[in-house]
Structure 1
Amino acid sequence: MSLRLFSRALPKSCPASPQRSIVGLRVRFNSSDAPVTPEKMPIPTRTRNLADFSMANRVCMVTGGARGLGLEFCKAFIQSGCTDLAILDLKEEEAAAAGEELIKQSCVDSTMEPTDYRVMGLGCDVSSELSVQQAFRKVMDTYGRIDSVVASAGIVENYSAFDYPFDRIKRLYDINVHGAFFTAREAARHMIPQGGGSIVLVASMSANIVNIPQPQTPYNAAKAAVKHMAASLAVEWAKKGVRVNCLSPGYMLTKLTRTILAHDPELKRTWESLTPMGRMGEPEDLAGAIVFLASDASRFMTGSEIRVDGGYCII
């Protein structure tokens, strides 16, 4: 297995986002109806953020990170200060290309340079225990530690129960369930000796409800397994410093989902009508949740599930 690594010079923390205009800042927090003039505006101080949400100085890994929600998780980590990131996907060239694009985007309107980042693109078949082990060895050889791991690789297919081919069911479970387990287990093997870390297994609201109108029984059952896997591993590793939590997205408008719904607008209307917020989620709606679970902000949280579904599971 080869890898592509973009090396950096001396590490330095990411700067805060470009400061908003003084007018915009004042209007947002002004409780008076009186007109706001520049003369009345205080000079704003630096932006303050809770330090525990920072991903700076953390080595992160995301499986299925070349596209879809996995790529959004990578973006969220970079935007939160991470400069050491391993992107795993089935095709190494796609993982490497995603890393290059992330670095390019992160340097726009920033003092950061491409050499400030170490982003690794790795080919990995998460359904293979050996492939996952090899990927972790390369990450450890490169960075020397691993702090936050997100098991995001997964697939979904829609067949009725009578028509679902067995080889497709097996493939789905190998990726969605076994892949999550292999990823979590290898992460814990390396985190425990270093004192701990955070593992996030990406399940789905389908772990809690039965999706309609599309038939997807094996997928729903697989995500329920991932949810309970996170809880079980959390208990097993709690006293060893390794936290395991679960993120369960609802219907998200990824690039692939947009393409599918473009040919089936009625399905989109159905999904939106069943969601209390009346819309599907944007991938970036998950950014805050994934950073919370992967960072020290959730340090007393393990075995829990965060659903980001627009209220779908409430009703």
Structure 2
Amino acid sequence: MATSLLPRSARVAVVLAPHRARLMSTAQSRAKAKFLPDFSMANKVAIVTGGARGLGYEFARAFVRSGCTQLAVVDLKLEEAQSAAQELVNTACSPSHPDSKPSDYKIIGVECDVSSERSVQKAYAETIETFGRVDSVVASAGIVENYSAFDYPFDRIKRLYDINVHGAFFTAREAARHMIPAGGGAITLVGSMSSSIVNIPQPQTPYNASKAAVKHMAASLAVEWAKKGVRVNVLSPGYMLTKLTKTILAHDQELKKTWESLTPMGRMGEPEDLAGAIVFLGSDASRFVTGTEVRVDGGYCII
């Protein structure tokens, strides 16, 4: 029978039937979807240093994508930290996420020079005042420079160690001071594959040594705080295509080819390739993991 000959109510039912079928299919697919809830960052308060740009921003974004709604983006310049915090909220509430609204998120920008213990303490005080606690911390602030050993200016070496090594230590120690009374938490120090290998062809001895220090620092602190409920691990990225790296390689394609040829997977990593690892280390999924290095380098350190 032609649809036009049916009563109006029947014609509406015929038109809506395919739409209802699609909705039921989508609902059934969601109901069948399985995932391990321990990987969720929901209900956790997180801090990410160096979070306004580069890998730090990607770590913060990964936490938000995994359910974190309470986050402190810590960076050297307040304006940049606040801008990144707002961008995270805007992204989380974009049209592709119709169920999210800005009021669901409390993401703040905090000014901090991690090389200064007093500045780190002030940043934690502001975070604790805002959220009342901290559950997961990522010490991502760091710098890298390329000078030959003979040409490396002393003031630059000192600045690098102050940020990469002392900054990681101050960040971890202050986190533990707040986590231990609250029953524990997760600290992730951001190292580098450079803690295990010597990069070529670029000369960067102080950087390599600083990341080796961070790696051993994580293991040492993990042992010291293991029975106090605080886990400390290190995430070591390989060559990643951050905005800064892309800018550098745009003027040196041979360097890009060298790095890619030395990586067994034949490519450099995308910042998003670190999302799973950082969420694993920051969430309850790694509750029995401490003092461990998770290396995400496309196999570079294998050979």
Aligned to 2:247: 259
SS in 2 for 1:120: strand
* 2:49 aligned residue (63, 71, 74): 63
Pair 1:300-2:288 in alignment: yes
Unaligned runs of 5+ in 1: 1-39
CA deviations 1:181-223 (Å, max 9, x no partner) are 0000000000000000000000000000000000000000000
TM-score with structure 1 setting the length? 0.86
- 1:182 aligns with one of 170, 189, 207: 170
Give the match for residue 4 of structure 2.
none
2:84 to 98, 113, 119: 98
Residue in structure 2 matching 1:81, options 36, 61, 67: 67
Q: Distance in 2 between matches of 1:102 and 1:131?
A: 24
Counterpart in the other structure of 2:39? 53
How many residues are matched? 276
Q: Distance in 1 between matches of 2:106 and 2:30?
A: 31
Residue 48 of structure 1 and its aligned partner are, at CA, apart by: 2.4
Q: 1:42 to 1:172 in 2, by over 3 A?
A: closer
Residue 126 of structure 1: how far off its partner (Å) = 0.1
Alpha-carbon distance in structure 2 between the residues aligned to 1:142 and 1:102:
18
Counting aligned pairs with the same residue, the percent is 75
Larger helix proportion of the pair: 2
Q: Match for 1:206 among 179, 194, 218?
A: 194
Matches within 5 A, 1:110-189: 110=97, 111-189=99-177
Aligned equivalent of 2:273, options 285, 293, 296: 285
**Distance in 1 of aligned mates of 2:28 and 2:128:** 46
CA-to-partner distance for each residue in 1:270-291, whole Å, 9 max, x for gaps? 0000000000000000000000
Question: For 2:209, what is the secondary structure of its paired residue?
Answer: helix
Q: What is the rounded CA distance, in whole Å, between the counterparts of 2:168 and 2:26 in structure 1?
A: 52
Q: 1:44 aligns to what SS in structure 2? A: helix
> Match for residue 274 of structure 1?
262
Please report how far the alpha carbon of residue 44 of structure 1 lies from its aligned counterpart in structure 2 after TM superposition. Answer: 2.2
**Cα separation, 2, equivalents of 1:166 and 1:176:** 15
Q: CA deviation at 1:177?
A: 0.1
Question: In structure 2, what is the equivalent of residue 15 of structure 1?
Answer: none
Alpha-carbon separation, structure 2, partners of 1:170 and 1:48: 49
Letter in 2 for 1:106: A
CA distance in 1 between counterparts of 2:38 and 2:48 reads 20
Letter in 2 for 1:270: T
Post-superposition offset of 1:42 = 11
Provide closer, same or farther for how the CA distance between residues 42 and 62 of structure 1 changes in structure 2, counting only shifts above 3 A.
Answer: closer
SS in 2 for 1:280: coil
Give the 3-state SS of the residue equivalent to 1:103 in structure 2.
Answer: helix
Residue by residue over 1:143-192, the C-alpha shift from the partner in whole angstroms, topping out at 9 and shown as x without a partner, is 00100000000000000000000000000000000000000000000000
Query: Once superposed, what is the RMSD of the aligned Cα atoms?
Result: 1.3
d(CA) in 2 for partners of 1:104, 1:49 = 26
Task: Work out whether 1:44 is the aligned partner of 2:18.
Answer: no
Match among 229, 232, 237 for residue 241 of structure 1:
229
CA deviations 1:220-247 (Å, max 9, x no partner) are 0000000000000000000000000000
Give the distance between the partners of 1:41 and 1:68, measured in 2 at CA.
36
Q: Which moved more, 1:146-155 or 1:107-116?
A: 107-116
Shift of 1:138: 0.6
Separation in 2 of the partners of 1:295 and 1:83? 14
User: 2: CA distance between counterparts of 1:72 and 1:307?
Assistant: 16
CA distance in 2 between counterparts of 1:45 and 1:252 reads 33
Distance 1:251 1:88 in 2: 24
Q: Counterpart of 2:29 in 1: which secondary structure? A: coil
229, 232, 236: which is aligned to 2:220?
232
